[in-house]
Amino acid sequence: MRDYFYKLADHAFQLADADDILLLNIRGELSDFVRMNNARIRQGGKVEQSYLEITLINGRKRISHSFSLLQSLDIDKTQVASAVENLHAKVSLLPEDAYLSYSRHIHSTEDIGKNELPDTQAAMDRILHSAEGNDLVGIYAAGLIYRGFANNLGQKNWYESHSFNFDFSLYHHQDKAVKSGYTGFTWDQNLFQGKMDQARAQLEIMKRDPLTISPGAYRVYLAPKAMGDLVDVLNRRAFGARDRHNKTSSLNRMIYEGKRLNPGVTILENTGGGSACRFQSDGFIKPDEITLVQDGTIKDPLVGSRSAVELNMECNGASAEETADSLEILPGKLRTKDIIPTLDTGLYLNNLHYINFSDVNSARLTGLTRFAAFHIKNGEIEAPINVMRFDETMYNVLGENLEALTAEQELLVSSNTQLCRHTECQNIPGAIVNDFRFTL
């Protein structure tokens, strides 16, 4: 698909006027999707799709048009020619863009991952065999994801990866279930079997009569997925240069008042070690690593191309949303086998959902426990708990109330399939937190 994209780009560039700048972006996939219910395949299919966006810049005016490619070269060349003609006809009607920005430095890259995925049928055989005897519900998505960029200044960038994402639950009845997942680039049956065995063991506990706990502050263990659920919402408003400048960041107290997190907390945009694409739609390239928080202290912001112009800063490859696409929290020292003994008495939370800010300026989040949430007593799992609402600030979760981070991290690749499969990821440890507050 790379060569096909470059042929379309070259065709578009031939249609450009002398004072035009053309930017082309492609995103697409060739994916297998399999839906399972009651540990049986209910629906399977293959999705092959790609979308091309053409941006015309003339002076300080900018206009874009996107469309689906049919992957017939003659037809798609006709689509490209029609798009460029329409853009030329409309660009003069637009006002100038005060914050127009695109990369003028030619930095071509090529990042092509190996295809080490199992055959989909083989993966299904392993999954269904491991789940035998349980009501497994899930969706398996796997295959090629690609992104491309080209401009008529001579820059070309290409990214492709082959990954899988298996999002699944084991059900007891109604809303009593254990949710888990396995994602990556190569299939490790021992690792997957370990996740399935853990889910099956937790499902047995879910069959016990649940406890209703009173509102208040509890010592909790947040599994990597639960921690990732919190950090995912925090990420929307935490690290961007524009939010920092406008004082709308959820970390304002760190930025302007000297508030710190726990010294053991370091948060990175780790593009070099993640799964996300290295370049963004205006041609800027992300560095391998951006330190967002170091040893509990706020560090560098994520700077998108428009913010760079508006705020007189240097773009560091951030998207227009200025969120971390390969977010990593560095691990601590707590071993997995020591989690429950260290927690001793408290709550073990596997998942959280319906999370949103209850107070952005205080980095305060509210949401609900979900699926397998357990009461731990004297180092033993006692029973599942009924759904509880929490309301807690991340200054406590990652700050003064943070007791330990696990030595093991979990790679969480986005399961978002809107338009096409996404590449954003998190690499997250679990955490033991004191006085985590539940309101009802």
| Cβ atoms 372, 384 nearer than 8 A | yes
Statement: residue 174 has pLDDT above 90: no
Predicted local confidence at residue 260, as pLDDT: 97
pLDDT tens across 226-261, in order?
A: 999 999 999 999 999 999 999 999 999 999 999 999
3 state SS of 388: coil
Q: What are the residues facing 49 on neighbouring strands?
A: 29
Predicted local confidence at residue 274, as pLDDT: 87
| Cβ atoms 28, 49 nearer than 8 A | yes
What tokens appear for 329 in the block? 């929290």
Rounded Cα–Cα distance for residues 141 and 323 (Å):
24
Predicted local confidence at residue 275, as pLDDT: 86
Rounded Cα–Cα distance for residues 286 and 290 (Å):
9
Q: What is the DSSP letter of 38?
A: T
What tokens appear for 223 in the block? 């599994």
* Chain centroid to CA 82: 35
Rounded Cα–Cα distance for residues 180 and 136 (Å):
11
Rounded Cα–Cα distance for residues 54 and 56 (Å):
7
Predicted local confidence at residue 102, as pLDDT: 96
Over pLDDT 70: what percentage of the chain?
100
How many other C-beta atoms can be found within 10 angstroms of the C-beta atom of residue 156? 20
Statement: residue 175 has pLDDT above 80: no
List the domains of the chain with CATH numbers: 2-206 (3.30.2290.10), 216-438 (no CATH)
pLDDT tens across 36-60, in order?
A: 999 999 999 999 999 999 999 999 9
Contacts of 116-124 spanning 24+ positions with Cβ under 8 A: 116/162, 116/185, 116/186, 117/142, 117/143, 117/162, 117/163, 117/164, 117/185, 117/186, 117/187, 118/164, 118/187, 120/32, 120/34, 120/44, 123/164, 123/166, 123/187, 124/34, 124/41
Statement: residue 173 has pLDDT above 90: no
Predicted local confidence at residue 199, as pLDDT: 95
pLDDT tens across 275-330, in order?
A: 899 999 999 999 999 999 999 999 999 999 999 999 999 999 999 999 999 999 99
What tokens appear for 168 in the block? 């699944």
pLDDT tens across 180-194, in order?
A: 999 999 999 999 999
Predicted local confidence at residue 417, as pLDDT: 86
Rounded Cα–Cα distance for residues 259 and 22 (Å):
44
